Amino acid sequence: MGGSVDGLTGVMREQFKQAVAGIAKATQAEWIRLAQVKLKSSRADYINGLRQAESFRAYNRGSIQVYEIQLVGKMPNNFEFGMESFDMKSVRPGWLGGGKAKVSAAGDKYISIPFRHSTNAKSNIFYTGKAAKADLRTKLKETARIYGMNQMSRTATGRVIPGPTRRVPNHASVHPYLRGLTRIQKGTKGTTASGAQRGSASLMTWRTMSENSPAGSWIHPGIQGAKLLPIVQRWADNELNLIVRLIMGGV
């Protein structure tokens, strides 16, 4: 910017150091704020990558004080920079090669992949791709109403019945993605106004992945990068410019 810190007084130099440190922490906070505002289904994982112990570092490089802010983790970085389409059977061998995989009578490995659904408009579960085009959330609400999926099942004494309680038949005339939809309940602490036990529930479906799954049946469409980093960098540059001009007297 055409100025030099060499001419700063001791007090001004200390103010400058404190201001830069403050901008560094504020930049991390701004990055998190942007993720909270702009992201949806990836929000929690992305922000978790900004809240790791190594996400913020302050250290000396010779006589230079360095502040380093980084997005930690493979998936948070995939969400930021994007990821090309991939075959989930080969990219995630843990699904078929892990301890949860089973072996059929024919000797083929398979595993049931769970999918969580939510009728709550404020839920962080979002439908994309074919499910979004099919307006699956609207169909989910209708299916939940018809099959009583939105009602808590309790005993005569008001205790929550744990485990699977209701299930949509596989042959039901509902969207194929919702066949087999199951309500799974668990009791929680506290009671309702009527004295019944409080509880929570999840709506789940499962889809089988196997070594014999048709080619292309587990193709992920890829991830479009959020590209929040350039926005954060511009924000940090602007803040730093303001501080420099303020402390250095309009340089």
Average pLDDT over residues 122-145: 87
Average pLDDT over residues 188-217: 93
Q: What is the pTM of this model?
A: 0.68
List the chain domain ranges. 5-81+225-247, 86-220
Bigger pLDDT: 49 or 9?
Answer: 49
Q: Which of 185, 216, 210 is nearest to 199 (CA)?
A: 185
pLDDT band at 4 (very low <50, low <70, confident <90, very high): low
Q: What is the pLDDT of residue 140?
A: 95
- The per-residue pLDDT for range 105-127, each reduced to its tens digit, is 999 999 999 999 998 877 777 88
- The per-residue pLDDT for range 145-174, each reduced to its tens digit, is 999 999 999 999 999 999 999 999 998 899
Q: Is the pLDDT of residue 251 over 50?
A: no
pLDDT band at 2 (very low <50, low <70, confident <90, very high): low
- The per-residue pLDDT for range 60-114, each reduced to its tens digit, is 999 888 999 999 999 999 999 999 988 888 766 667 877 888 999 999 999 999 9
- Helices (H), ranges, the chain: 10-38, 43-48, 74-81, 88-91, 93-97, 129-133, 136-146, 229-247
Average pLDDT over residues 220-246: 91
Torsion of CA 23, 231, 86, 101, to 10 degrees: 40
State how far the Cα of 79 lies from the Cα of 226, in Å rounded to an integer.
6
Q: How far apart are the first and last CA of the chain?
A: 7
Q: Is the pLDDT of residue 250 over 60?
A: no
Q: Is the pLDDT of residue 200 over 60?
A: yes
Q: What is the pLDDT of residue 34?
A: 97
- The per-residue pLDDT for range 30-53, each reduced to its tens digit, is 999 999 999 988 999 999 999 999
pLDDT band at 218 (very low <50, low <70, confident <90, very high): confident
216: left (phi over 0), alpha (psi -120 to 50) or beta: left
pLDDT band at 55 (very low <50, low <70, confident <90, very high): very high
What is the residue-averaged pLDDT of the chain? Answer: 89
pLDDT band at 138 (very low <50, low <70, confident <90, very high): very high
